[in-house]
């Protein structure tokens, strides 16, 4: 059936959904977004994504276009109208439509759009879908903790990966430490089986919702993890490596910059975490983990 999208209170055929030419999201990337995984009809980590959406709007002083409960109802209605069980639900909030001027417009209502895109969450395909990663310099702005639609640096990073026959890019800072992926958080498992990911403190990376869920699951299962920065060279020497995000969930890496990770296949720690997260994503009670965006 035809796709249905949502624009400022209206459910429209996807091909007819549009925003005004002077929408500030288009003019300045003056907007924020979230992507929520719809897995077998369940919105995984919904609370965490809506918490972070509200935080991003607050950091950019964007007035929310609606309250949380009306938004949740609109999300579910969009899912119902599209008759889909597995998808990525994209939410974007902009500062609204106004004559082009860098300063904030006065008394301009914010805008919201939502779309759904089919996703395949088949477990076997996900586990066997090993990814090749390349590393690139991190050239982004300094407020990486805000999930802004200003994604040009990530677009360029991902295109470098495509040009080099890889699937994704991990970015590194001026000291050679991995920050995060173009659209994901980065993880490695070292020779001592330490699960390592960069701390989401300050504004150096985005605090991934899937990342936070994985950390909570690790705590509940007694799985130790280490929050510290790791270098590109450490990533090369890792026994396992993977990316985490709302769309990719847990994406194991086979190669980084052409260097094979482990035996090039999904490792036991990554596989266990994948199964743990999928069980969690299907469990309505577990999805209510408290999450502190600070």
Residues with catalytic roles: 147
| H helix runs in 5-122, sequence order | 24-28, 46-59, 68-82
Closest by CA position to 51, among listed 59, 150, 158: 59
- Give the separation between CA 25 and CA 90, rounded to whole angstroms: 15
Pairing state between β 185-189 and 195-197: antiparallel
Q: Bridge partners of 252?
A: 242
- Give the separation between CA 58 and CA 52, rounded to whole angstroms: 10
Contact 18, 100 (CB under 8 A): no
Contact 182, 171 (CB under 8 A): yes
| H helix runs in the chain, sequence order | 24-28, 46-59, 68-82, 123-128, 152-163, 209-221, 232-237, 268-281
- Give the separation between CA 168 and CA 229, rounded to whole angstroms: 19
Closest by CA position to 208, among listed 220, 219, 197, 218: 197
């Amino acid at each position: 059936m035809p796709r249905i999208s949502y624009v400022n209170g209206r459910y429209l055929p996807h091909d007819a959904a549009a925003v005004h030419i002077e929408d500030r999201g288009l003019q300045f990337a003056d907007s924020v977004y979230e992507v929520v995984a719809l897995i077998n009809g369940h919105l995984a980590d919904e609370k965490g994504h809506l918490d972070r959406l509200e935080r991003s709007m607050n950091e950019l002083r964007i007035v929310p276009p609606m309250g949380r409960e009306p938004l949740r109802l609109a999300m579910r209605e969009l899912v119902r109208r599209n008759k889909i069980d597995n998808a990525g639900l994209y939410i974007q909030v902009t500062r609204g439509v106004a004559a082009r001027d860098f300063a904030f417009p006065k008394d301009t209502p914010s805008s919201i759009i939502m779309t759904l895109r089919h996703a395949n969450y088949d477990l076997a395909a996900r586990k066997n879908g090993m990814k090749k990663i390349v590393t690139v310099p991190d050239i982004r702005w300094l407020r990486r903790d805000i999930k802004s639609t200003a994604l040009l640096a990530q677009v360029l990073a991902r295109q470098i990966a495509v040009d080099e026959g890889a699937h994704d890019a991990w970015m590194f800072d001026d000291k050679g430490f991995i920050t995060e992926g173009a659209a994901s958080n980065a993880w490695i498992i070292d020779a001592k089986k330490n699960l390592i990911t960069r701390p989401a403190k300050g504004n150096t990376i985005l605090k991934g919702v899937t990342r936070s869920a994985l950390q909570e699951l690790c705590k509940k299962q007694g799985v130790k993890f280490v929050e510290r920065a790791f270098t590109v060279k450490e990533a090369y020497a890792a026994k396992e490596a993977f990316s985490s995000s709302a769309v990719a969930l847990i994406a194991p890496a086979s190669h980084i910059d052409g260097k094979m990770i482990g035996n090039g296949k999904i490792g036991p720690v990554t596989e266990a975490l994948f199964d743990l997260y999928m069980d969690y994503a299907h469990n309505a009670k577990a999805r209510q983990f408290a999450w502190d965006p600070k």
